[in-house]
């Protein structure tokens, strides 16, 4: 019974969520677009001419927002390159390159290199989150693992002046993740956008400018 009540409460909150309604109205695939929008507007992350990689991009709302920001090129199209990577299929988005697969695999990285050539990436985005079990220690390890993957990717592909934005959770293991970010980036900023639900421990970490570029 408790689970049914929980599901009903979630459904009620979801249906009445102003960001869900706004996403439906403005054509975004998920309310998560407004988290990126708020962070971008504060930090000026997305600019014309950039190469942007969206890790774990499905269903695509972050890629949609990035595309909006790069749109307006004379004659149509976007001024820049956006690549979405995910192990789950994603419905196509105009002007966004999508690569299906695990970004740790060589064949996926080869496809990425075919798009960007030998150029480095300006911005890596990751709204990835693991399936949470409710066991704090287990979940902390899963979250840290996903962020480690994003950090590894950023080390390999970011420009020295580039930025990495990841979803994290404030709780067990958060300080360790924060320390890793501070060891990699000259500037580290914590963000809790208004579109993050109040009861969620979700927080976003933004790292700017690599300390030890490869």
What is the C-alpha radius of gyration for the chain, rounded to an integer number of angstroms? 17
102 assigned to a ligand binding site: yes
Contact 191, 167 (CB under 8 A): no
Scanning the structure block, which residue is given the tokens 């595309």?
A: 67
**Catalytic site residues?**
167
Q: How far apart, in whole angstroms, are the C-alpha atoms of residue 143 and residue 161?
A: 26
Tell me: the pLDDT tens digits for 19-65? Answer: 889 898 998 999 999 999 999 999 999 999 999 999 999 999 999 99
3-state percent helix, strand, coil for the chain, nearest multiple of 5: 40, 25, 35
86 assigned to a ligand binding site: yes
CA-CA-CA-CA torsion sign (15, 21, 39, 166): positive
**Domains of the chain and any CATH numbers:** 31-210 (3.40.50.150)
Contact 124, 152 (CB under 8 A): no
Tell me: the pLDDT tens digits for 75-117? Answer: 889 999 999 999 999 999 999 999 999 999 999 999 999 999 9
Give the global pTM: 0.91
């Amino acid at each position: 019974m408790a689970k049914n009540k929980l599901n009903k409460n979630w459904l009620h909150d979801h249906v009445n969520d102003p960001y869900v309604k706004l996403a439906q109205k403005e054509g975004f695939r998920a309310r998560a677009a407004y988290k990126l929008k708020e962070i971008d507007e504060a930090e000026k992350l997305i600019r014309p001419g950039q190469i942007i990689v969206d890790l774990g991009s499905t269903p695509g709302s972050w890629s949609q927002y990035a595309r909006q920001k790069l749109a307006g090129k004379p004659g149509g199209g976007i001024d820049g390159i956006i690549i979405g990577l995910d192990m789950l299929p994603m419905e196509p988005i105009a002007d966004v390159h999508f690569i299906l697969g695990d970004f740790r695999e060589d064949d996926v990285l080869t496809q990425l290199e075919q798009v960007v050539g030998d150029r480095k990436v300006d911005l890596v985005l990751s709204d990835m989150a693991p399936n949470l079990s409710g066991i704090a220690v287990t979940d902390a390890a899963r979250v840290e693992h996903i962020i480690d993957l994003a950090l590894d990717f950023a080390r390999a592909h970011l420009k020295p002046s580039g930025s990495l934005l990841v979803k994290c959770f404030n709780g067990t293991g958060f300080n360790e993740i924060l320390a890793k970010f501070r060891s990699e980036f000259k500037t580290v900023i914590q963000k809790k956008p208004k579109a993050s639900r109040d009861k969620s421990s979700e927080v976003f970490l933004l790292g700017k400018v690599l300390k030890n570029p490869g």
